Chain A
Amino acid sequence: MQKRWLSMASVLTAIALVAAACGGGGTSGTTSTPGASGSGAAATTAAATTGEIIIASDLPTSGADASSGLPTQNGAAFALSQTTSYKGIKFTFKPFDDTVNGVHDPQKGAQNVQQMLSDPKVVAMVGPFNSNVARAEIPIANQGQLAMMSPSNTNECLTQTFPYCDPQPAALRPTGKNNYFRIAAPDTVQGPAMADYILNTLKLTKVAVFSDNETFGKGVADNFVKRLTAKGGTLTNRSDFDWKTTNDFKPFINDAKAKGAQVIYAGATSATKACIVRSQMTGILDVPFTGPDGIGDDQCLKDSGSNTANMYFTNAAGDAGQNPDAASTVAAFKQAYPKASDLGAYTFPAYDCAFILIDAVKRAIDAAGGKVPTRQQVIDAVQSTSGLKGTVGTYAFDANGDPKSATMAFWASKGTPAAWVFQSQFSVGQ
């Protein structure tokens, strides 16, 4: 008797599930705007039965990029290990890797987002790490109403409209609604910040600039040059390398030397050979070497060989060590991740990204009456974040998804063996 009752119940459940699935599909099929209510409701139904939400991450965590990607992933993973559930709903962390052959890859990133969208439990993601990956991911995540929160994307064209942007930010958001947020200061701040640092702190004026010709590298170099020349500095020479085929940077270095360059600025990352240039400068040109956050890792110090002195980089996020309120979080992290290479310049920014998302999801759960919220509800909750204190900043977002105030920090290589040491930081209002 009891057995029969059970089987009947299961049959009924199956019928109900099929009906729900068909209903969801039908609604979104007939609505012209892609499922703001229809598919969202279906997702809620499916997810509510399990009572679990997933916050994913998409970062480059293998190959050359792992030196910056893994420490970043650690930050997000640690934040989610601190909050495992809310009102009976389980929180899970699911990391994705966007490298192909060890280098971050926009197509791989886009595939990862597709995969996240196919899982109704995924309501938000931390990442991506690289601006060109973001450019490929935003339109896909946008159509699936997935909130993205990047600790390190700095390309200004991801959020702000400038005449030179291609594509324009609006083209990245087919639904017309924003789903992309970041906490890093854009390159319109990062490039100029180093220009100011060179002119005012290092007191040098003649700069040779190269870039890896990628979205990030070329963009930050362009912004650097604009500020440098506007403030009375001189650009001695500039090269935009095809980093995959170029191994000989000596002609560029000699050109810089012949034209009296006092500093080199690298619009590149350590994965795109930025610090090989530093190594090849040995014995030819002994001047400081500066760059964006992309050179601020161990790989760069290794690549520079014995020529590690006098290197500087800007970090588009603050240093958790400067915030006394974050001391206990930093200590707990170090206990959970004891290796020195576990911690990078973007570990705590990524921690904050996950922290903001967790906070937003909690508020969205409250707003949904204790149930699993829809993806759009999560986006709305992120957008309304205000005055939230993280380890490296206090967060609120403008309509573009940019932080209302961001921190820019300067780091320098010090000592033997060389290590990156925090120098100073300042806040930038947008």
Chain B
Amino acid sequence: MVSSVANARARLVAGSRGRLLNGTLFALIAIALVILATKVATNGPAYFIQIVVYGLANGSIFALIALGYTMVYGIVELINFAHGDVFTLGGFISLWLLPIFGVTEGGTVTGAGLILPLLAILVISMILCAVVNVTIERVAYRPLRHAPRLTPLITAVGMSFVLEGIMFLWRGPFNLHYPNVLPATSIELGGANGPAIGFKDVAVIVIAVVLMVALTLFVERTKLGKAMRATAQDRDAAELMGIDINRTIAATFFIGALLAGAGGMIFGLYYNTITFDQGFTAGLVAFTAAVFGGIGNIQGAALGGLVIGMIQSLSDGYFDTAWTQVLIFAILVLVLVFRPTGILGMRVPEK
């Protein structure tokens, strides 16, 4: 009796502290929105449209990474911390392949001639990343499938460091320059001072959307996709129905890494810089995007990625880069407090 009163009091105190925190976060975001509105008004619509375009491109890349997190979590309830580094690996592999396929900055291969080699490099990078990710699953996660939850989490962190270490040894600690090979042409809306939608922005968004649509179709229309959904819902029942669980889980890691590998190459082409440890931050932000949209939910991860990319660009463009992470994570906390399952809802098995 006494203890339950004490518990209730503790809960009350915690609750009021929570409300205070939420109030502060709400106030922070409200202030940010007001400042944003005034800044958007003073800087004019052209700049705003420009920032939104960058936000979409940013968000597409985050969405590509977030999909891998969400798919893996949906099926084995594991946060694959190595996923962010698989994304970086995609950038490193494609950077290594570019000169092999004769694509160099200011080189002879330009214009339409670029399409074929770049597509080939994209496909090879994606497949190599996928193979690495499946290997990681086989070596570090599958033997631990029935171990306590914490164990595969720790091996995931370990694999993340292993991948970072390999990339560090391979290309060193520099900010590597990623060749700026995509054409710099842009469509200028409303004259020279209007917003310019660059070829790069469009390319990034188009590739990401195509990959995401393909993924959705795959999961909803194919037999393997059905097997994935079944495994995510109830692993034991799926196994009883004759689904090869190991193969299905491996396929999930494979597809997640395909998207991350593509994301790595697109990141390099878009920002022209790549560092061995960029997957750490990018991975955390993408994981946030996945949680934001509802972990386990594919459409949710895509939406979450786009929203977070947009927040990042608006914050970078109108405030200061120092505020970006604060805003992203403040919004995350609020979303989780009021919708613990994310915007579109979690898609996890009901037990």
Contacts and interface: CB of A to CB of B under 8 A. Distances in A.
Interface in A215-273: 239-242, 245-248, 250-252, 254-255, 258, 271, 273
A405 interface: no
A380 interface: no
Interface stretch (B10-18, B180-188, B247-255): B180-188
Q: Among the interface residues B105, B168, B196, which one has the most CB atoms of the partner chain A within 10 A?
A: B105
B281 A245 contact: yes
B263 to A, nearest CB: 13
A424 interface: no
Contacts of B184: 282-283
A254 B198 CA distance: 12
A89 interface: no
Contacts of A279: 177, 180, 272-273
Of the four ranges (under 10, 10 to 19, 20 to 34, 35 or more), the interface on chain B belongs to 35 or more
B185 A283 contact: yes
B320 interface: yes
Contacts of B105: 305-306
A97 to B, nearest CB: 13
Interface residues of A, number: 33
B261 to A, nearest CB: 18
Contacts of B233: none
A261 to B, nearest CB: 13
Nearest to A238: B320
Given A254-B47, A258-B46, A280 B174 contact: no
A102 interface: yes
Contact of B198 (A242, A273, A283, A307): A283
A102 B175 CA distance: 10
Contact of A64 (B47, B106, B173, B180): B173
Contacts of A258: 43-44, 46-47, 50, 193
Contacts of B168: 101
B180 A248 contact: no
B321 interface: yes
A241 B54 CA distance: 18
Interface string A358-384: 000000000000000000000000000
A284 B168 CA distance: 32
B180 A251 contact: no
B322 A242 contact: yes
B271 A64 contact: no
A254 B51 contact: yes
Contact of B272 (A103, A271, A276): A276
B345 to A, nearest CB: 30
A241 B185 CA distance: 27
Contacts of B320: 239-240
Given A64-B174, A64-B175, A254-B51, A248 B281 contact: no
Interface string B195-234: 0101000000000000000000000000000000000000
Contacts of B172: 63-64, 102
A368 B44 CA distance: 73
A316 B320 CA distance: 30
Contact of A306 (B46, B54, B180, B186): B180
B285 to A, nearest CB: 9
A251 B313 contact: yes
Nearest to A272: B175
A105 to B, nearest CB: 11
B125 interface: no
B304 interface: no
22 contacts: A64-B172, A64-B174, A64-B175, A101-B168, A101-B173, A102-B173, A102-B174, A240-B322, A245-B281, A246-B316, A247-B273, A251-B316, A258-B43, A258-B46, A258-B193, A271-B174, A271-B175, A279-B180, A280-B272, A283-B184, A284-B196, A306-B105
Listed from nearest, the 10 A-B pairs whose CB atoms lie closest are A283-B184, A102-B173, A251-B317, A64-B174, A251-B316, A305-B180, A279-B272, A276-B273, A247-B271, A306-B106
